[in-house]
Amino acid sequence: MNDFPEVNLQAQRYERIEETSLTLHTIGLQVAELLRIKEELEARLNALLEHGDDCQKTYTYGRWKVTVKSGYNYTLDIDEYETLGHFLPKGFDPVQKKIKYEINKNVIKACEKYGSPEEQELMKQFVSKKPSKLHIKVSPGV
């Protein structure tokens, strides 16, 4: 009979955390390796199909229906655009300027903590709150 059951429970909890962390870490490594292999196979299949650079097409081979979508990701150097962009004719200006609304979580948390009930209720009318997806990264710590 254990004279210190709370110590035993803590040890069991610690052991379960260790086991679960190891399992998550191992799965993370396996997923990374599988993603690398998947990317290699996709590139190989793309080459075998002789698929174009910027298009989507579905191919049928035997019992397999393969849909390939390829394209480009574009990035903008804002400083260069602001310096040189005005030289482009309006029809070739690739940038659409839009108003962007971003939520400042720090302000929301401050309102939740220090705001009056009226201010909190007002904010709740146009800002909703729901739990985000849980994300846990496990890596060797020692």
Q: How far apart are CA 63 and CA 60, in angstroms?
A: 7
Mean pLDDT value of segment 59-81: 92
Cross-strand pairs, 68: 57
Residue 98: what residue type? K
The half-sphere exposure of 23 on its side-chain side, counting CA atoms within 13 A, is 6
Q: Of residues 25 and 142, which shows the higher confidence score?
A: 25
Residue the block writes with tokens 């290699």: 40
pLDDT bucket at 102, cuts 50 / 70 / 90 = very high
The half-sphere exposure of 113 on its side-chain side, counting CA atoms within 13 A, is 6
pLDDT of residue 3: 63
Q: Of residues 39 and 138, which shows the higher confidence score?
A: 39
DSSP 55: -
Q: How far apart are CA 20 and CA 12, in angstroms?
A: 12
Q: How far apart are CA 61 and CA 68, in angstroms?
A: 13
On the question of pLDDT at 8 being above 90, the answer is no
Name the percent of the chain lying above pLDDT 90: 75
Mean pLDDT value of segment 102-127: 95
pLDDT of residue 132: 87
Give the residue extent of every domain in the chain: 5-73
- pLDDT digit string (tens) for 27-59? 999 999 999 999 999 999 999 999 988 899 999
Phi–psi pair at 32, nearest 5 degrees: -60, -45
pLDDT of residue 2: 55
pLDDT of residue 140: 75
